[in-house]
Amino acid sequence: MTMSLDSLKGKKVHLLGIGGIGVSAIARFLKAQGVEVNGCDVRESTLTTALRSEGIRVDIGHRPSHVDENDVIVYSTAIPAENPEFAYAKEHARLLLHRSEVLSIIVDQFESVGVTGTNGKGTVSAMLTWILETAGRDPSFYIGGLSPNLKTNARVSSGPNLVAELDESDGSLLNIHPKFAVLNNLELDHLNYYKSLDHAVETLLAFFQNLPEGSTCFFNADDEGTLSVARQLECHSKVFFGRNLEADVRYEPLETTNTFSRFRLFARTAEGETEVGVFTLKVPGSYNMENAAAACAVALTLGVSSEAIATALESFQGLNNRYTVVEAAGRTLVKDYMSHPMGIRKVLDTARLGNPGTLYAVFKPYRYTMINYHVENYADAFSKCDEVIVTEMWEAGEDPIPGVDTQWLAGRIAKAGVRVKYIKEMPPIADYLAKSQKRGDCVVFFGGNDLFEVADGLAKRFEVEADAEG
């Protein structure tokens, strides 16, 4: 059955896990296009509250009755098979669609840009969207994160382009076929789905091979995993970006600090390489120059001027909880969703540029498969800080691996010469840091919203204590 937006109009569409960042974006997008949507989730959140304020019905709790009350049920890979509503839907739903199938319907309406990769895809998507917005292109967007510039994670606009962050974690991006596609980097992640890096390369290669005729593909010229895909791709136009001297869109770092960066950008044409301009980013980290190069490569292909790019990059504020800095009574606290060791290393390198007295990391591990495969990489990544506090792992429903748990990971990191403290529960982490972190120190919190609540509470605690001291 070929699906279109018109085939969803007039139907009641119910989204399981509507409080998730990606599914909430689907809900907003469909509602803006005249589709009747509602959904459910296991708990209240800022997203469920926001969706209700926008006129979308949200129920708390998964119930089979939702299936009977609606025409279309939309689920994501995050919904466990044993979920009672999902189990009932598989037998009784009039139409059951994966989130990626609905996103495909959305993507097909526009000259869409799909952005994927292990790290940075949300930032590249938001950055490119902001460039197009600044250039007056009025882009639509679907992003798995909240950008202060864009105010929301999804919007339908009048312009011809849609920028969509594409999740590679479960292979479902194979359902989606944008006209332009970016692969920012590719490392082995999501070991609950991918069996090897070769498996990830094969999946991404299939995604690019299945793009429409005449598509343009953008690849990171500095990333070996990405190049493994690009070298095997024999169809479509290819544009390479990065520091590599052979890149079609090349950047040259000029200044990198923990608060901003500046780089020079070049573009290769038939006549040779020409300078595009010098750009400043207010979001820190050398990895954000790489992200900017990806966004610039697409923007230049779409005909955006260098002046609009410069204005957008200098005013770009990043994504919430991607190197989000909180300053409190002379201490620095950084919140970042990063869980992959390669990304953790880059974030800690950036924090070190601020010359903190002591650099702490607080880490909530994710999945048995990840820490088992990447244990040595985690040890290497955390060698960038002075002390790491490890709290209890989020298993994400995985079966345990014998001998592999949070304390085992902490021990392996300690063997690499890093000072490690294992604190199982969240509240004692704040107590420990309140006693340990001094003025001039920096703590980076790697995890999710529960850990970020600890960071925010600790910041308030420092401010209260400072006020009490006068």
414 Cβ contact list (under 8 Å, min separation 6): 420
Q: Are residues 55 and 116 in the same domain?
A: no
CATH number at residue 20: 3.40.50.720
The answer on 299 and 208 residing in a single domain is yes
Measured distance CA(122)–CA(400) in Å, rounded: 30
**Co-location of 288 and 191 in the same domain:** yes
Last residue of a domain, one of 98, 131, 153: 98
| Residue 143 within any structural domain of the chain | yes
Same domain, 455 and 365: yes
Question: What is the pLDDT at residue 470?
Answer: 66
- Give me the tens of pLDDT residue by residue for the chain, a chain 470 residues long: 467 888 899 999 999 999 999 999 999 999 999 999 999 999 999 999 999 999 999 999 999 999 999 999 999 998 988 999 999 999 999 999 999 999 999 999 999 999 999 999 999 999 999 999 999 999 999 999 999 999 999 999 999 999 999 999 899 999 999 999 999 999 988 888 899 999 999 999 999 999 999 999 999 999 999 999 999 999 899 999 999 999 999 999 999 999 999 999 999 988 899 999 999 999 999 999 999 999 999 999 999 999 999 999 999 999 999 999 999 999 999 999 999 999 999 999 999 999 999 999 999 999 999 999 999 999 999 999 999 999 999 998 889 999 999 999 999 999 989 999 999 999 999 999 999 999 999 999 999 889 999 999 999 999 998 888 76
Do residues 181 and 226 both lie within one domain?
Answer: yes
Instruction: Give pLDDT, residue 2.
Output: 63
| Last-in-domain residue among 315, 332, 361 | 315
**Rounded Cα gap, residues 455 and 442, in angstroms:** 12
- Which residue in 242, 217, 250 sits closest to 115, CA to CA? 217
**Helices 306-315 and 121-134 sit at what angle, rounded to 10 degrees?**
120
Q: Which CATH number belongs to the domain containing residue 283 in this structure? A: 3.40.1190.10
Q: In whole angstroms, give the CA distance from residue 28 to residue 144.
A: 12
Sheet holding 249-256, edge to edge: 154-155, 140-142, 161-165, 111-116, 180-183, 216-220, 237-242, 249-256, 261-269, 272-281
Asked whether residue 230 falls in the same domain as residue 140, the answer is yes
Residue 457 lies in domain = 324-469
For residues 351 and 4, give the distance between their C-alpha atoms in angstroms, rounded to a whole number.
46
Burial of 53 (0-12, 13-18, 19+ CB in 10 A): exposed
- Count of structural domains within the chain: 3
139 and 245 fall within a common domain? yes
CB 16 within 8 A of CB 24: no
| DSSP symbol at 42 | S
Residue 412 sits in a domain whose CATH number is 3.90.190.20
- For residue 103, being part of any structural domain is answered with no
1 in a domain, yes or no?
Answer: no
Residues 143 and 166 sit within 8 Å (Cβ to Cβ): no
pTM tops 0.75: yes
